[in-house]
Amino acid sequence: MSVKRWIFAIASFVAAIGVSLYIVLSSWPNQHAAVSMGVAAHGVLLCIALSELLARGAKVWLSAIAMRIPMSYRLALRASAGGDFGAAITPNKSGAEPARYLIMTEAGMHPAQILLVIYAELFLEMISLALVALGLYLIFRNAGSTLIGVVGAVGLYALFVLGTGAIGWFLSKRYGTTGPAPEWARRFKMHGARWKQVQRALATLRTAIAGIRHMRLGMTALALLASVLHICLRIAILPAIVYSLGETHVPLAPLVLWPVALMWGSAISPLPGGGGAVEVGFKAALGHAIPATVFGAALVWWRFYTFYLFILLGALAAGNTVLRALRDDDSENDEEPEAATA
119-162: per-residue pLDDT in tens? 888 888 888 988 888 888 888 887 776 677 677 667 766 676 66
Query: Which of the two residues, 76 and 328, has the higher pLDDT score?
Result: 76
135: DSSP letter: H
Our CA dihedral for 56, 234, 325, 165, rounded to 10 degrees, sits at: 70
- C-alpha to C-alpha distance for 224 and 230, rounded to whole angstroms: 10
Indicate the number of domains in the chain.
Answer: 1
Q: Is the Cβ–Cβ distance between 296 and 24 less than 8 Å?
A: yes
Higher pLDDT: 158 or 114? It is 114
The rounded distance, in Å, linking the Cα atoms of 110 and 116 is 10
- Domain boundaries, position 51: 3-341
- What is the pLDDT averaged over residues 27-42? 75
Provide the whole-model pTM. Answer: 0.81
> What φ, ψ does residue 68 adopt, rounded to 5°?
60, 35
Mean pLDDT of the chain: 81
Lowest mean pLDDT among 60-64, 124-128, 269-273, 289-293: 269-273
Predicted confidence (pLDDT) per residue in 58-102, tens digit: 999 999 999 899 999 999 999 999 988 888 888 777 778 888 888
User: Quick one: CA dihedral 293, 299, 305, 308, positive or negative?
Assistant: negative
What number of H helices and E strands is found in the chain? 14, 0
Report CA 178 to chain centroid distance, whole Å: 34
